[in-house]
Amino acid sequence: MKGKPAILYGVKAYSQGIPFLKPYIPSIATIKESIAEILASGMLTKEKYLQAYEDKAKAYSEDAQMNVVAVSSATIGLTLTLQALGITGDVLVPSFTFCASANAIVQTGAKPVFVDCCPDTYNISISALAQKITNQTEAILAVHVFGVPADCLALEKLAKAHNIKLIFDAAHGMGSTLDNIKIGRFGDAEVFSTTPMKTLVTGEGGLIFTRDAVLAQRLRTYREYGNLGDYDCTYVGTNGRLNEISCLMGVTSFDLLPENIRLHNAAANAYTQRLKSVPGISLQHIPNNVVSALLNKSEICDDFLPIRAIVT
């Protein structure tokens, strides 16, 4: 085919794309009464479902010391976290990641310094990272690429040795584990995304997990324009709030998380089984001590019979 491929805005070769996975979200029957309640109250933000959502996320973490802050997007969450930690210098970030990781650093006024990734897991290389740390380095922003956890323990050790902050872009990480520890419990903070392709879905949104109670309170202020409640803004914040209907979806979506992970795993495995033997194609390696919410091996279930027909 002449010209650019469709992925680069060229002409599509086929009118119908390959079906991957539709968002797995609460049914309208499950939430319609609560939506009606929210609309009738007129309180569309900062009400009881925000607190219920954050409480549900904390309970999910299985960590009594965890603090959870819901925000309007993971990108906003990363930006506010860097800002609340006072990061203004160099931030080491993997060279292979979504643009939001670097965007958040730039929006904070800090400088992204790109670090090579491991060719098998696609995650940031610890050895390459160690070589990039300088006196100007203030933080590491690591990424759990496609839900495969980065080497969190090695990263924590390196950050502690150099007295720098460690933040994780955990956009794809809800439901992933490292050594049976849930992602969300590492570093100074981990930031999840809850957009439609993720395992926990609120439409748009993000969740910040941190054990640092002072940081969590600062983040709640930053998401409210830096306003403590008296309009005498303490910080230069932004509107990072998550609305009540999205929070309601989040509360209900936690109940769907195990099945959503199963569906993602089954879809990934359907493709993996048929692509792994194709010459020239290599697939992301998943270490034995991790579980990826998106990519772990699973059965090929009836949900993916159309995929089986297309890629066979």
Do 284 and 143 touch, CB atoms closer than 8 A? Answer: no
Do 197 and 21 touch, CB atoms closer than 8 A? Answer: yes
Strand partners of residue 45:
243
Edge to edge, what strands does the sheet with 137-143 contain?
Answer: 67-71, 206-210, 189-193, 165-169, 137-143, 90-94, 111-115
Is 160 annotated as catalytic? no
Query: 231-238 long-range CB contacts below 8 Å, 24 or more apart?
Result: 235/83, 235/84, 237/80, 237/83, 238/76, 238/79, 238/80
**Selected catalytic residue, list 2, 198, 276, 297:** 198
Which tokens go with 303? 């949900």
Angle at CA 27, nearest 5°, toward 23 and 28?
A: 120
Q: For residues 25 and 20, what is the distance between their CA atoms, to the nearest angstrom? A: 16
Burial of 259 (0-12, 13-18, 19+ CB in 10 A): exposed
What residues are labeled active site?
A: 198
